[in-house]
């Protein structure tokens, strides 16, 4: 009997300590995750931010700049991490609706399945904004979207590819990610710029393979294509992990001198690779601007102003010379 009691008590203590642990975690995180109200100023409300995942630095940067800008306007920010799962994201939206937040900012984990959750927020009267990726579900009300002009970014990538291949042109591999609409647009922009060269046969796209948006899949796809085409001259990957995965395969084959890589995003790892000459160029996105602009949209919506439905921030091309001047990489 005594032993059982002892066990039960230790189980309880275990679980309660788990709870205290996470309660503590919550308080510890407030500094980082939610910008508390400034002294003497009462918080005007909470903005909930739910990106694909916070483990991708890109979304973390958007979140940090969003939370800093929100703080200036007197709002707190709660950052949620659905870990790329739309069910988790829906559940989290339900949670913050119950919490009666002021506004919800989403990067939809699935452009269609997230619809009903957004409708629930609409029904509760909580304004919903999207950032980076848009929602394609029917009958939902999105106050405003702030994202990257991915088609324009693709065009820049195409220009960079033409420049990198030079006079002779050559065979190009495209590493795409068709699940994400943003990546589809990048490839479309890329192909549009390449079109005259594709027609003349100077440049040839030998394959468009799924990159999974990650290093592993891109590495495998590139390694296979290196076997198939001994004269491959260029790779366009729809993001930085894709470009770096491709580089690993090319380096393994010892062909980094003859194959030029164009990436996308301009994450820190991508910028470093550009500085080291592993990647030729990246059209870079501006996550900080996105965070700031989405807060501007929220604030003007709450002030009763009409806001633009869609704001697309153009990318700019980032090459080795830019990387050498970049204070972020010093």
- Extended beta strands in the chain, E state: 46-50, 76-79, 103-106, 128-131, 144-148, 170-176, 203-210, 232-237, 260-262, 281-284, 310-313, 316-319
Helix, strand and coil content of the chain, in percent to the nearest 5, comes to: 50, 20, 30
23 binds other proteins (CB under 8 A): yes
Classify 78 as helix, strand or coil: strand
**Least Å from the CB of residue 66 to other proteins:** 15
| Alpha carbon distance 145, 137 (integer Å) | 14
115 binds other proteins (CB under 8 A): yes
Burial class (CB in 10 A: 0-12, 13-18, 19+), 10: exposed
Per DSSP, the residues of 7-26 read HHHHHHHHHHHHHHHHHHHH
Q: What are phi and psi of 306, to 5 degrees?
A: -75, 135
**Least Å from the CB of residue 205 to other proteins:** 21
| Residue 199: partners with Cβ closer than 8 Å, 6 or more residues away | none
From candidates 31, 40, 41, 125, binder to other proteins by CB under 8 A: 125
**Least Å from the CB of residue 152 to other proteins:** 25
Quick one: 95 or 231, whose CB is closer to other proteins? 95
Quick one: 54 or 273, whose CB is closer to other proteins? 54
How close are the terminal C-alpha atoms of the chain, in Å? 66
Q: How many binding residues for other proteins (CB under 8 A)?
A: 70
130 binds other proteins (CB under 8 A): no
- With CB under 8 A as the contact rule, which of the stretches 72-80, 231-239, 243-251, 258-266 interacts with other proteins? 72-80
Beta-sheet pairing, 281-284 with 316-319:
antiparallel
From candidates 36, 38, 55, 277, binder to other proteins by CB under 8 A: 55
Classify 313 as helix, strand or coil: strand
Quick one: 81 or 240, whose CB is closer to other proteins? 81
**Least Å from the CB of residue 284 to other proteins:** 26
140 binds other proteins (CB under 8 A): no
Quick one: 63 or 158, whose CB is closer to other proteins? 63
113 binds other proteins (CB under 8 A): yes
192 binds other proteins (CB under 8 A): no
Residues that bind other proteins (CB under 8 A): 1, 3-5, 7-8, 11-12, 14-16, 18-23, 25-27, 29-30, 33-34, 44-45, 53-55, 78-83, 85-87, 90-92, 94-95, 97-100, 102, 110, 112-116, 120, 122-127, 139, 178-179, 301-306
């Amino acid at each position: 009997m005594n032993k059982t009691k002892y066990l039960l008590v230790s189980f309880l203590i275990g679980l309660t300590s788990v709870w205290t642990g996470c309660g503590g975690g919550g308080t510890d995180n407030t500094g980082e995750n939610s910008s508390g109200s400034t002294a003497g100023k009462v918080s005007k409300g909470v903005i909930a931010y739910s990106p694909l995942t916070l483990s991708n630095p890109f979304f973390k940067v958007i979140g940090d700049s969003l939370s800093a800008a929100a703080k200036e306007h007197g709002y707190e920010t709660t950052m949620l991490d659905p870990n790329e799962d739309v069910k988790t994201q829906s559940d989290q939206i339900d949670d913050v609706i119950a919490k009666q937040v002021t506004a919800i900012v989403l990067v939809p984990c699935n452009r269609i399945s997230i619809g009903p959750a957004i409708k629930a927020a609409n029904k509760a009267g909580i304004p919903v904004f999207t950032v980076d990726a848009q929602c394609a579900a029917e009958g939902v009300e999105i106050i405003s979207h702030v994202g990257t002009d991915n088609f324009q970014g693709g065009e820049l990538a195409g220009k960079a590819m033409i420049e990198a291949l030079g006079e002779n042109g050559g065979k190009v591999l495209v590493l795409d990610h068709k699940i994400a609409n943003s990546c589809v647009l990048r490839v479309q922009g890329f192909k549009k710029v390449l079109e005259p060269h594709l027609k003349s046969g100077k440049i040839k796209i030998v394959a468009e393979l799924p990159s999974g948006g990650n290093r592993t899949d891109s590495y495998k796809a590139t390694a296979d294509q290196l076997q198939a085409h001994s004269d491959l001259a260029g790779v366009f990957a729809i993001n930085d992990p894709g470009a770096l995965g491709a580089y690993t395969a090319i380096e393994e084959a010892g062909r980094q001198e003859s194959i030029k890589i164009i990436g996308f995003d301009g994450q820190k790892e991508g910028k470093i690779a550009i500085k080291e000459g592993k990647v030729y160029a990246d059209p870079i996105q501006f996550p900080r601007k996105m965070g700031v602009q989405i807060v501007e949209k929220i604030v003007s919506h709450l002030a009763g102003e009409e806001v633009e439905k869609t704001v697309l921030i153009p990318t700019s091309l980032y090459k080795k010379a830019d990387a050498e001047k970049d204070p972020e990489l010093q």
